[in-house]
Amino acid sequence: MRRLMVVLPAALLMWVIMKTGMMNAVYDKMTFKDLSWFDNTALVEHLRTRLIQDGLTDLPEQCLVFLVNGADKDPVTIEVLGREGNGCPGAKPDAKTLFKVRVERGARRMFSDANNPGHFQAFQ
């Protein structure tokens, strides 16, 4: 009985941490380093965490799609799409452009035009 009194609250705490996104934020802090700015895969995963954390989108992380344009340039423009259907909000399967993110890899800064298309503002 004592074991159950310890295991049950611990399992509940882990579930809450997972659902609130705290685990993703901690993982991102531990793994996203200075050289990760130049790795598109790491950069997209960092963006996925930051966009949700900063409240730029209310879609779940599995419903975000990133199109990296000009991967070898600085700054790089990343188009953020929101998937619909197939487990994501929306009736029919589709993907719509939400906004764009401009990443200055050398300066390690990110800008978004989330609320004002064409006018980028820093969000990190």
Choice between 117 and 70, residue whose per-residue pLDDT is larger: 117
pLDDT(15) > 70: yes
Choice between 60 and 71, residue whose per-residue pLDDT is larger: 60
% of the chain at pLDDT higher than 90: 16
pLDDT(40) > 80: yes
% of the chain at pLDDT higher than 70: 98
Choice between 109 and 6, residue whose per-residue pLDDT is larger: 109
Task: Report how far apart, in Å, the C-alpha atoms of 88 and of each of 48, 65, 67, 108, 115 are.
Answer: 15, 12, 18, 31, 22
pLDDT(80) > 90: yes
- What pLDDT is attached to residue 102? 92
pTM higher than 0.95, yes or no?
Answer: no
How does DSSP classify residue 79? E
User: In the predicted model, what is the mean pLDDT of the chain?
Assistant: 86
- What pLDDT is attached to residue 65? 92
How does DSSP classify residue 63? G
Contact 70, 77 (CB under 8 A): yes
45-54, 84-93, 94-103: the lowest-pLDDT one:
84-93
Report the SS3 class of residue 93: coil
Q: What is the C-alpha to C-alpha distance for residues 41 and 48, in angstroms, rounded to an integer?
A: 11
